[in-house]
C-alpha cells in the first residue's frame, strides 16, 4: 500500500514569527551544572528533614537521602543518553515524541505536558507551604487562615513579577540563588559547630530490621521524599538546544549536580540530627517539625541568628517558587509551538513576550495545590505530585531509551548509558517502589487513584485535541526523525551552533 501523504498544517502558527528563531549554544558545563543545582537546592531539604525522620522513625533517615541520590543517578543516566542524542528544547516531550511516534503519534508527549501541568505547580506549592511554615517561626501567632491567605498572596506576587520580559528578571534570579546557597551553608556551619555525634548516630532498636514490612513502607516514603529533594537534576536537559557540545556537557552536568547536592544534603541532614533531637521532629506542633533549620540556629547561635537565617530561608522558598514557575510555564508553551499541545498555550504576551496562559494556569493550579497541602499534609502533596510524574515521565522515558535503540539504531549517541540496561532497571525498580507504596504512605488520600484519574482525563483531552487537529488517530501519524537525519549527515551537522531545528517530516507507513 502506498505511503499516506503528509497533512498540510495551517499557515498560522501560535508562536508567530518566533517560530523560526533558533537557539544559540552558549551554555557550558559549569553553567549547566549550576542550573541543575539551583533547581535542586531549594526549600525542599529545609521542610523535608522532619518528614524523612518521621518516615523512618529515627536518625537512620539519612538512608532516604542516599537512596534518593542513587535513584537520581540511575534515572539521570536515562536523561543523559536521551539528552545527548536528542539535544533539542523541551526535554521530555521531545524524547517521548521521538520514541513513541511510530505507534501512538503524539499521545505520549501530549500526556507528558498534561501531567506536567499538574506536577510542576504541585511542586511549587510545596515551596509555598515551606514558606508559610518558616514564616510562622517569625510570626508565632499566625492563624491557619492567615497562613492560607499569605501563601495565596505569595503566588500572586510571583505571577505578577513574571508578568514581564525574561531579560528583566535574570539579575533577580542570580541574587536569589546567592541567598539560597548562603542559607544552606549557614545552617550546615552552625550545626557542625555544636555537633553531637551520639545524638546523630544513636538509632532506635529494630531501625534496620529488613524483614519488617514497616521498614519497607518507611523506606518507600523516604525514597519518595529523597527523589523530591533531588528534583531538578534534569533541568539543563530541557535547554538542550542551548547547551554547548550537549553530548558531553549534559551527562556530566547531570552526574556532577547530583553528587554535589548529595554532599550538601548529607551534611545538612547529619548536622541537623547532631543538634536537634530527632524525637522533637515527630511533634507536629514543635519548631523542630515545622522549621527545623530555625531550631538548629536557635540552639547553636541564638534567637537573633535564627531569625536572620529564617529570613534567608524565606527568600530561598521565594526563589524556588520564582524559578519553578518561570521554567514550568515554558513547558506547555514549547509543546504548543511544536503542535503537540493546545494552541492557546503557545501564545505570547503582545508586549512583554511571555507565555500568558501557561503562567496563569500554573499559578491557579499551584494555588489549589497549596490549599490541599495546607489542609492535609505536605507529605500527601509530595506523594501526589510524584505519583503523577512517575506514570508518564519517569517510566515512559526509561522505555524510550530502549525503544529508540531499536527504532533508531543509527541515531548519533555521543553518550551511551553506562552498563546498559542496568541503570534503567535500577531506576525502574525505584520508581515502581515509590508508586506501589504511595497509597500506603498516604492512607485515605489515594494518590495512585488520583494519578490514574488525571492521566485518564489527559487521554480524553488528547482525543478531543487530536480530533480538532486531525492528527492520529483521526489522521496520519507524522514521523519526524530530524535527529536521526542530522546524525546521518555527519558529526558536523549533528551538533550545530544554532541548535537543532525540526527537519523534514516524512510520511508514516500505512
How far apart are alpha carbons 191 and 272 in whole angstroms?
6
How far apart are alpha carbons 471 and 362 in whole angstroms?
27
Domains of the chain: 25-203+212-493 (1.20.1740.10)
> How many residues in the chain?
510
Nearest CA to 110 out of 403, 336, 400, 348 is that of: 336
The full DSSP string for 364-414 is HHHHHHHHHHHHS-HHHHHHHHHHHHIIIIIHHHHHHHHHHHHH-TTS--S
Residue in this structure with the C-alpha cell 521531545, named with its chain if needed:
94
Report the Cα 148 to chain-centroid distance in Å: 24
How far apart are alpha carbons 228 and 486 in whole angstroms?
35
pLDDT (tens digit, 9 = 90+) per residue, 49-102? Answer: 999 999 999 999 999 999 999 999 999 999 999 999 998 777 888 899 999 999
Report the Cα 448 to chain-centroid distance in Å: 19
**The C-alpha cell of 414 is what?**
555521543
**The C-alpha cell of 508 is what?**
508514516
Strands (E) located in 136-268: none
In 448-458, which positions are buried (b, 16+ CB within 10 angstroms) versus exposed (e)?
Answer: bebbeebbeeb
How far apart are alpha carbons 155 and 132 in whole angstroms?
12
How far apart are alpha carbons 396 and 390 in whole angstroms?
8
Other CB atoms closer than 10 Å to residue 441's CB: what's the count?
Answer: 22
Nearest CA to 67 out of 249, 232, 225 is that of: 225
How far apart are alpha carbons 125 and 435 in whole angstroms?
21
Residues 6 or more apart whose CB falls under 8 angstroms from that of 494 comprise: 412, 483, 486, 487
How far apart are alpha carbons 441 and 434 in whole angstroms?
10
Strand partners, 239: 89
At 192, give phi and psi (nearest 5°): -80, -10
Residue in this structure with the C-alpha cell 549536580, named with its chain if needed:
257
Q: Which helix (H) or strand (E) holds 360?
A: helix 356-375
Please tell me the predicted confidence (pLDDT) of residue 25.
Answer: 76
Residues 6 or more apart whose CB falls under 8 angstroms from that of 23 comprise: 89, 241, 242, 498, 499
Q: What is the pTM of this model?
A: 0.85
Q: What share of the chain is helix, strand, coil (3-state, %, to 5)?
A: 70, 0, 25
- Whether 254 and 36 have beta carbons less than 8 Å apart is answered as yes
Instruction: Print pLDDT tens along the chain (510 aa).
Output: 444 444 344 444 433 434 444 556 777 888 788 778 877 877 888 899 999 999 999 999 999 999 999 999 999 999 999 999 998 777 888 899 999 999 999 999 999 999 999 998 998 899 899 999 999 999 999 999 999 999 999 999 999 888 876 544 545 656 766 787 888 899 999 999 999 999 999 998 888 888 888 889 999 999 999 999 998 898 888 877 778 888 999 999 999 999 999 999 999 999 999 999 999 999 888 999 999 999 999 999 999 999 999 999 898 888 778 877 877 887 888 888 888 999 999 888 887 777 889 999 999 999 999 999 999 888 888 999 999 999 889 999 999 999 999 999 999 999 999 999 999 999 999 999 999 999 988 888 899 999 999 999 999 999 999 999 999 999 988 888 888 876 655 544 444 343 343 333 444 443
Amino acid at each position: 500500500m502506498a505511503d499516506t501523504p503528509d497533512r498540510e498544517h495551517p499557515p498560522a502558527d501560535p508562536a508567530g514569527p518566533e517560530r523560526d528563531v533558533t537557539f544559540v549554544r552558549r551554555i557550558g558545563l559549569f553553567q549547566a551544572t549550576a542550573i541543575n543545582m539551583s533547581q535542586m537546592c531549594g526549600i525542599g531539604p529545609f521542610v523535608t528533614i522532619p518528614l524523612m525522620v518521621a518516615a523512618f522513625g529515627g536518625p537512620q533517615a539519612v538512608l532516604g537521602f542516599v537512596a534518593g541520590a542513587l535513584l537520581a543517578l540511575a534515572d539521570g543516566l536515562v536523561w543523559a543518553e536521551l539528552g545527548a542524542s536528542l539535544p533539542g528544547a523541551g526535554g521530555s516531550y521531545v524524547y517521548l515524541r521521538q520514541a513513541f511516534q511510530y505507534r501512538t503519534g503524539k499521545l505520549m508527549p501530549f500526556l507528558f505536558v498534561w501531567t506536567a501541568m499538574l506536577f510542576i505547580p504541585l511542586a511549587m506549592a510545596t515551596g509555598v507551604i515551606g514558606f508559610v511554615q518558616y514564616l510562622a517561626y517569625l510570626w508565632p501567632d499566625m492563624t491557619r487562615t492567615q497562613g492560607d491567605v499569605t501563601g495565596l498572596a505569595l503566588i500572586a506576587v510571583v505571577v505578577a513579577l513574571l508578568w514581564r520580559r525574561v531579560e528583566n528578571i535574570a539579575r533577580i534570579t542570580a541574587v536569589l540563588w546567592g541567598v539560597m546557597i548562603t542559607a544552606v551553608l549557614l545552617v550546615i556551619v552552625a550545626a557542625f559547630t555544636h555537633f553531637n555525634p551520639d545524638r546523630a548516630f544513636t538509632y532506635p532498636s529494630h531501625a534496620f530490621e529488613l524483614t519488617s514490612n514497616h521498614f519497607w513502607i518507611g523506606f518507600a516514603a523516604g525514597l519518595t521524599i529523597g527523589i523530591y529533594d533531588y528534583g531538578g537534576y534534569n533541568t539543563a536537559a530541557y535547554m538542550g538546544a542551548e547547551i554547548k557540545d550537549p553530548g558531553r556537557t549534559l551527562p556530566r552536568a547531570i552526574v556532577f549536580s547530583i553528587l554535589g547536592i548529595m554532599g550538601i544534603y548529607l551534611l545538612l541532614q547529619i548536622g541537623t540530627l547532631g543538634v536537634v533531637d530527632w524525637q522533637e521532629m515527630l511533634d507536629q506542633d514543635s519548631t523542630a517539625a515545622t522549621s527545623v533549620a530555625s531550631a538548629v540556629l536557635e540552639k547553636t547561635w541564638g534567637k537573633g541568628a535564627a531569625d536572620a537565617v529564617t529570613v534567608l530561608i524565606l527568600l530561598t522558598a521565594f526563589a524556588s517558587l520564582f524559578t519553578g514557575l518561570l521554567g514550568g510555564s515554558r513547558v506547555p508553551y514549547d509543546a504548543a509551538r511544536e503542535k503537540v499541545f493546545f494552541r492557546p498555550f503557545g501564545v505570547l504576551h503582545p508586549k512583554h513576550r511571555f507565555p500568558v496562559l501557561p503562567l496563569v494556569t500554573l499559578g491557579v493550579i499551584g494555588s489549589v495545590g497549596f490549599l490541599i497541602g495546607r489542609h492535609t499534609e505536605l507529605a500527601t502533596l509530595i506523594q501526589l505530585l510524584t505519583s503523577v510524574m512517575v506514570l508518564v515521565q519517569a517510566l515512559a522515558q526509561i522505555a524510550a531509551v530502549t525503544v529508540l535503540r531499536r527504532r533508531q539504531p543509527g541515531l548519533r549517541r555521543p553518550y551511551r548509558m553506562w552498563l546498559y540496561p542496568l541503570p534503567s532497571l535500577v531506576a525502574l525498580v525505584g520508581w515502581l517502589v515509590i508508586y506501589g507504596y504511595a497509597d500506603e504512605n498516604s492512607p485515605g488520600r489515594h494518590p495512585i487513584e488520583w494519578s490514574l484519574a488525571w492521566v485518564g482525563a489527559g487521554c480524553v483531552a488528547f482525543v478531543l485535541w487530536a480530533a480538532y487537529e486531525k492528527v492520529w488517530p483521526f489522521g496520519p501519524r507524522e514521523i519526524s526523525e530530524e535527529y536521526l537525519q542530522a546524525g546521518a549527515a555527519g558529526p558536523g551537522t549533528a551538533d550545530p551552533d544554532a541548535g537543532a531545528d525540526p527537519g523534514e517530516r516524512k510520511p508514516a507507513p500505512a
